[in-house]
Every structure is written in C-alpha cells, then in structure tokens.
Structure 1
Amino acid sequence: MHLRDHRAAPPVTAPAGARRRLPPLPWSDGIRGVALVVVVVWHAVLTVVPADPTPVQHALMLPLGVAARLSLLSFIVLSGFLLGRHWDGDLRRFTLRRCWRILPPYWIAVLLTIAAMAWLGLAEPHGSHWDTGLPFTPERTWATLLLVTDLAGMVPISHPLWTVPVELHLYLLAPLVVLFRREATVLVAGVLGTLAIAFLAPGFIAPHFVLAFMAAFWSGVRRQRPLEVTPAFAGAIGASFLLVAGAVLLLGDLSSSATRYLVVDCVVAPVLLLWILRGDLVGGPSALRDLLARRGPQRLGSRSYSTYLLHAVALELVWRAGVDEVPGETAALVVMCLLGLLASLVAGELLFRAVEAPCTARAASVRRTLPRERRPA
C-alpha cells in the first residue's frame, strides 16, 4: 500500500462542496455496541464486589477492568475519527450539530438522576459503585449540569458521566486540529498536551484522551483524500503514543493503577486507530467487521449514548430493588449483571426515542453556512 504525500498538502479548508462524500461504515456502531455492554457489565460487577476485593476477586476483575477501560478508549478514538472523516470546514455547523447531539440527552439524564437521588433515596451511600459520586451537594450538582466537572477536578453526581464533559470539550476544540499543516505538529501537540495533563493534573482520570482524540480526528480529516496506511504513517502515530508511554514509565509512579492504565492505553490506542483507518480504506472481507455490522450490535451502538447516560441509575435501582439481598456473592453478581444490563438497555431505549433521536434529526437539519460571496441578495 502507498500513501500520497499528505505532508506537503495544504490544510483541509476547502469549500464544503469540494469534499468527497465518503461511504458509511456500518461496523462503527457495532464497536460502540460491544464497548457499551462491556462498560455496563463492569459497573454492574463493581456494584456487587466490595471496594477491597480479595486477591482472587481482583485477579478475576482485572481483565474486565482493562476491557472496560479500553472500551472508553474505543469510544474516543472512533468518535474522533468519524468527526474528522465528516469535517466540512464549517465551524458553526459543526458546533451546533455537536451541541444538539450531546447536550439535550445529557441534561435530561442528569435531571432524571437528580430526581432519582432526591426522591428514591439514592443520595445515601449503600455500599455500591454509585457511592463514588456522593455526596449529593449543590456544588457537585451544578458542576455536573454545567459540564465543568473535568475542569473543576470533581466527580459528577453519577460517576460514569465524567466522560461527557471531557468528550464535549475535545469535540469543540477539534476544529483547531485542522489548522496544523503537518501530522507531526498534531502529534507533538497531542503528546505535550497528554503529558501536561498526566503530570500537572494527576487527578484527571484519562489524560490519554487528548492524544487519542487528536490523532483520530486528524486521521479522519486526512481520510477525505486518497489515503492508505504505510509503515511511515503508522510509525508516526505509534511513536507518539510510545513516547508518552516511555515518559510515564520513566517519570510516573508505577505502583499507581492510573499510571499502568495509561501505559496500556498508549499501546492499544494506535493499534485501534490504525485498524479502524485500514478497515475504512481497504475494506474487503472481514469476519470481525461483518459481525459488528449485524443488526444487533448496530442497534446497541446507535443507542449507546443514551444507554451510557442512564445505566448508572438503572444499575443502582436494580441493586436496591432486592439484588443486594440475594444470598451468595456469585449469585448476586450473575443476577446483577443480567438484570442491570436489561434495565440499562430499556432506560437507554426510552431516552433514545424520547430525546436523542429527535435531537439527532434536529442536528442533521442544521444548514451549512454559505460563504459570504455566495449568500443570496
């Protein structure tokens, strides 16, 4: 495979009409669907297993915890790539569409969470994973509603909601990436930003998101030109992540789980991104992509955002509805995973139909801004 000399190409600022229309990726929603199930099951397990697990429990939970962490990484990489893949140079349209897609479902989910905490007794600790988002204070509530918990270094009232402000802020800053003329500049900026967050703001749970998103968005923008994956292109992306991993191994505290997770993130992120990019460019038969493109994974993926927003509330309600009284930890774990996943999917389906789907249609209807000289008189 060969790569066009994209380093000498000008930045992608051509008029929208000049952009090539790229075919959809039916397997992309499947990735989200699988990642969603892993995250929900992981949080269901954390609801049952105590905060101080036995060595055997820890050994069994470790692979699932890594899978859940990498599932969040896959959301960021895939979203960044797809946003870049459809970037048309219209900043106003991009911003409005992102806000319509993200904010209304998020705010409804937060209000439902507040209602559940206030009226159903969820504001009190109950020995479950939900407790990480407590205490239920006005400051934490407003920070959650205003999507500034990441900037304030605060855990939102529902712990999994921490990802939404981070993603929104990355999305709104993404158009700045296209101002760089070379991928080396993008990757250097991503490396420096990631290391700055990792060492200057150690309480931030996912510093790898910066480099992962920037590399993915840039790759998606470049995908609008004839582009293939070469060793040089793959090496540039891989080397940037390995540089971060090396700095973390050299300067970080290896006894910290956050440090170890960051190293794993930096190893997996470029592999995932290059796999997605190659699948888009080369296509061809693939058993895994065919499986992800099936109706079930696609449907789960299309509702993944709504389900993610409400799954913590659903899990806590299931836990307090009687699963916490199930005798035997193994039995409680199985029941919690099955009923918790089912309740989360039902809640996600309702939020999707009532809020997310109409907002998605509204986002799609946002018109492209016409250049000044082409505006009608």
Structure 2
Amino acid sequence: MPSPEEKREEPDAASGLTHVPGLDGLRGLAALYVLLFHCWLLTFPGFPDNSGPSWLGWLMYGRLAVVLFLVLSGFSLAISAARKSWQLGSLAGFLRRRAWRILPPYWAALVFSLVVAWSVVPASHFGPPSGKSILVYGLVAQDVYTAPTPNGAFWSIGVEAELYLAFPVLLLIRRRLGALVLVTGVTLMVVARGLLASDALPVEGVNGLTPNLAPVFVAGLVGAGVVVAPEKVRRLPWHWLAALAALPVLCLVVIKGSIWTVDHYFWMDLAVVPAMTLLLVAVSTGKPDFLTKLLSTRAVRGLGNFSYSLYLIHLPIIMIVVRKVAPHYVSPGLPTFGFTLVVGLPASVLGAWLFSEVFEMPFKRNRSWKFMLEEGRSRWNGTRPTLSRPIHHGQPEKN
C-alpha cells in the first residue's frame, strides 16, 4: 500500500466516500442481507409467499436492500460535488473513473457466472445463458434488452450504469434549479408513469427498472447536501426522523403481507426512500451512536470494503450449495437453509474477498494500468511503489 506521504488524488464527484465514516459499513450490511435473502429464496419455494418459518419472514425483501444500494450510490457520488457547489468537473473523467471502478470486477464476475451457469447449475428457469446473454450483459445493457441471465443479481448493475449516465444531468438540475425541483420533477414523472400503467400496479420486469428507480438515486444525491449544511442543520435528530419515516412502511408490510408488498414494489420503493435517505444523513452526522460504532467495527468495515464483489458473485455460489451440494446431506426446507448458512455464507464471503483481491482492489488502489503495473512490479520486487496512488471511489450497488 502507498505510504501516507505519497501524493494522493484529489477527491472528485466519484470519490469522497472515505470522508463519511459508516457508509461503507452500511453497504456491507446491505450486501450481507442480499446474500441471506438468496439463501432464503433458494431454500423455500413459492416466493413471494412465505413457505418457510414465519420467524424468517424478515429475509424476504432483498429488493429493498438493492434500493438502499442505489440511495447510497447517489449519496456517495454527490458528496464531493456538494462540496464544490454541485460541480461535477470533467464529464469524460467522471465516466472513465466509473468505468474503471465498476466494469473490471463486473466482467470478471460475468465470466465466473457464465461458467457456473453452463457447467454446474443453471442461473434461471428461462434457460441457460446464450450468445445474446454475453452481448447484452457484457455491454451492461440488461435493463434495455432481454436475454437469459447468467446471474440473477446483475439486473441492478444495468440500472446503476444508466443512472451513472444520468448523474451529470441530475447534478446540473440540482445546481441550476435546486433540490426541490429535482426531487419533485423526477418523482412526479415516475408516479404518473405508474398511475398510467395498464394494470396500475407496475412491477419489476413489466414496465422497466431505471425510470422507476430514478427517484431513489436522486434522493441520495440530494441527501448528500448535508455534508455542506450549517451545523444547526447537521445537529437535527436525523435518526429519529428516519425511524419516523420508516414506521408507516413497516406497518404496511406487516399488515398487508409479503405477497402484497412484492406486488407493489414499484410504490414501496418510493415509500421507503425517505427513511433510507434520512438514515444516510444521520450516519453521515454521526447518529445514532450505537449504529455508527457498529459500522466502525473492523469486521463491518472490512465487509463493506469488498461488498461489490460479494454482491457480484455470491448468487452462483449459493445456487451451487443449495442445488448441488445440500441435497446429498440434508432434507429440503429448514435443514437446507441451515446447511446453506453454515456452508454457503462463509464460502460466499471468503470467495468474494479472494475475488476482490484480484479483480476489484487493484482498480480501487490505482487510477490507470500504468500505476497498477508499477504496483505489481513493486510487490514482486519487494519495494515500495513510486507511482501508485489510491482512488477513493464509492462502490455501486448494489449495486
């Protein structure tokens, strides 16, 4: 790793996450929840009905963790811009940094997922990945074109990529017209689209994804303004406001049940976003104390550091455990779920860490192939790198 005295890159609109303790930890916990959701989903059939024990029902809402990823993405990308009067800087530089940070691990995970889907266990009941799958997913165009998926978790990467392209425009609107106009305009367009849908209940896969999730990303972008807010604003009880905003959504989920909730994800995404945004604002201001301490622990911070890799490759691993390994040792249902937690969860976390060391961390530490090669030569020779400089990008998504 570079020494402290070495010159570092200046933060830009794609960086600055490390200046807000706790956000990486939140991302790590969200990725872990998505992993647990898939353990549950592959073990108990009948989703969105809960065919498992009622006490495991809280694991059914993996989609909402992805919503949190998108709020986090908008928030972390906008932090540095907020500190520079909502200026992006170089558009080409921003897009290059996003591609450099996101695409290499994604493409490596795509190859891994294709190999698993073709040779071990199918990724979807729609059939094995095809040549079209390679083209569509290789170009990160899965939100625009349909093809058999190599990895069911990849849908959100396509959404995030499109939101990255929209980010400069959203930032311009925020700077010229203000936060209220940005949030209201984007949200009203999405609400109108939902109300005009043929069945009035648009769901994932029926009416597209990115337009429906744009307000989620925008909410995070606007929430990042707290980093430049006056101290009296930062001292507000944001954590209590987040809890207050979450209460109606939680009550609705409990009263209506899982089937209704999943069928209405289009609207639930919008309903839960205020609470999530307020939570990020609270964490960025150091509240609540118990949560910020948890997010600062070494384990949670470490998990957040490679959460992108965990999101990318955990599902093929869990599918191998549930469909190929578990049937030889345990019976279906709860025993399979327990077996998956004991075997699949650590295998996913360890596998993601190893994957990140090869395909993610080098791209986080270095800003170009030149610096990466210099770091590799230095490590090989046992000397200190002279060119390598860290790049402080936030992770997607999960993105």
The 1-side partners of 2:264 and 2:57 are apart by 12
Distance 1:272 1:326 in 2: 40
Instruction: Report how far residue 112 of structure 1 moved.
Output: 1.4
- Secondary structure of residue in 1 paired with 2:330: coil
Q: Which residue of 1 aligns with 2:121?
A: 122
Residue 176 of structure 1 pairs with residue 180 of structure 2: no
8 Å CA contact 1:96–1:366 kept in 2: the answer is no
Does the 8 Å contact 2:49/2:259 carry over to 1?
no
Root mean square deviation of aligned Cα? 3.5
Q: CA deviation at 1:174?
A: 0.8
Q: Verify the 8 A CA contact 2:143 2:209 in the aligned structure 1.
A: no
Question: What TM-score do the two structures reach when normalised by structure 2?
Answer: 0.71
Per-residue CA deviations over 1:278-328 (Å, capped at 9, x if unaligned) read 3324x3661111111111111111111011111111112223442023333
1:293 aligns with 2:284: no
Q: Is the aligned partner of 1:276 residue 2:268?
A: no
Aligned partner letter, 2:72 = L
Q: What is the letter of the counterpart of residue 265 of structure 1?
A: D
Aligned partner of 2:191 in structure 1 is: 195
- The 1:149/1:61 distance shift into structure 2, 3 A limit, reads farther
Deviations 1:322-374 (A, max 9, x none): 2023333221110012211111112211221001111112348599xxxxxxx
Q: Assess, with a 3 A threshold, how the Cα gap between structure 1 residues 297 and 208 changes in structure 2: closer, same or farther.
A: farther
The answer on whether the counterparts of 1:193 and 1:210 sit within 8 Å (CA) in structure 2 is no
The alignment partner of 1:351 has SS state of helix
Instruction: Within 5 Å, give how 1:325-344 maps onto structure 2.
Output: 325-328=328-331, 329-344=333-348
The answer on whether the counterparts of 1:315 and 1:344 sit within 8 Å (CA) in structure 2 is: yes
8 Å contact from structure 1 (residues 77, 269) kept in 2: yes
Partner residue in 2 for 1:65:
60
Counterparts of 1:14-53 in structure 2, within 5 Å, are 24-51=19-46
- CA distance in 2: counterparts of 1:273 and 1:187, whole angstroms: 12
2:183 counterpart SS class: helix
Counterpart of 2:396? none
User: For each residue in 1:263-290, what CA deviation from the matched residue of structure 2 results, as whole angstroms up to 9, or x when unmatched?
Assistant: 3332321112112113324x36611111
Aligned to 1:357: 361
Per the alignment, do residues 178 and 342 of structure 1 end up closer, same or farther by CA in structure 2, a change over 3 Å counting? same
Specify the alignment match of 1:347 in structure 2. 351
2:307 aligned to 272, 291, 304, which one?
Answer: 304
Decide which of 129, 135, 144 is 1:151's aligned counterpart. 144
| Fraction of identical pairs, as percent | 25
Deviation at 1:30, TM superposition (A): 1.2
Equivalent pairs counted in the alignment come to 326
1:74 to 58, 68, 72: 68
In 2, the alpha carbon distance for the partners of 1:133 and 1:194 equals 29
Distance 1:168 1:54 in 2: 31
Secondary structure of the 1:41 match is: helix
The residue identity in structure 2 corresponding to 1:139 is K
Report the counterpart of residue 263 of structure 1 in structure 2: 267
The 1:312–1:80 alpha-carbon spacing in structure 2 relative to 1, beyond 3 Å, is same
Gaps of 5+ in 2: 1-10, 82-86, 250-257, 369-388, 392-399
